[in-house]
């Protein structure tokens, strides 16, 4: 799941990049949101690996469990049902083929607004009420 605040950003998300010579993956990058260096650590993890695990964010575990369950339910729907929840401009479901270096694949994503006013009016995803 990707959360963005502006429409054109979806076209600027790099889906694949070659690693830098010093990059290696020894496990999931973890960012402690309570740390003063959190903003830089988030940017570094995004630039180097494209993902990270966030800890000490204050979101209750039951809220995260409900969100994950709803995301699994949504992405398990038949493709035609998911397609009705898009396109992802400005918000909603989208998918792309990836693999410019021969490692072909398919990426699905759900773009959600970060404020309640945008989410309530702009999200065409049928399960937005649960995401809210």
pLDDT digits (tens, 9 = 90+) for 3-32: 444 444 445 555 545 555 555 656 788 999
Q: Is the peptide bond before 87 cis (omega within 30 degrees of 0)?
A: yes
**Is the predicted pLDDT of residue 37 greater than 90, yes or no?**
yes
Residue pLDDT, tens place only, 62-98 = 988 988 888 888 889 898 888 887 777 777 788 888 7
Whether the per-residue pLDDT at 116 is higher than 70: the answer is no
Can you give the residue ranges of every domain in the chain? 30-59, 60-131
Q: Residue 6 has what pLDDT?
A: 46
Tell which wins on pLDDT, 72 or 113.
Answer: 72
Q: Is the pLDDT of residue 124 over 60?
A: no
First to last CA, the chain: 14
Phi-psi region at 56: left, alpha or beta (left = phi > 0; alpha = psi -120 to 50): left
pLDDT at 4: 44
């Amino acid at each position: 799941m990707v959360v963005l605040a502006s429409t054109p950003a979806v076209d600027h998300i790099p889906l694949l990049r070659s690693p830098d010579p010093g990059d290696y993956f020894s496990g999931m990058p973890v960012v402690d949101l309570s740390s003063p260096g959190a903003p830089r650590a988030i940017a570094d993890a995004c630039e180097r690996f494209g993902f990270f695990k966030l800890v000490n964010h204050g979101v209750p575990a039951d809220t995260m469990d409900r969100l994950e369950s709803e995301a699994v339910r949504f992405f398990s729907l038949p493709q035609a049902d998911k397609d009705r929840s898009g396109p992802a401009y400005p918000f909603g479901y989208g998918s792309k083929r990836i693999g410019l270096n021969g490692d072909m694949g398919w990426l699905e994503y759900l773009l959600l607004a970060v404020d309640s006013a945008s989410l309530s009016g702009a999200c065409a995803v049928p399960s937005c009420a649960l995401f809210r």
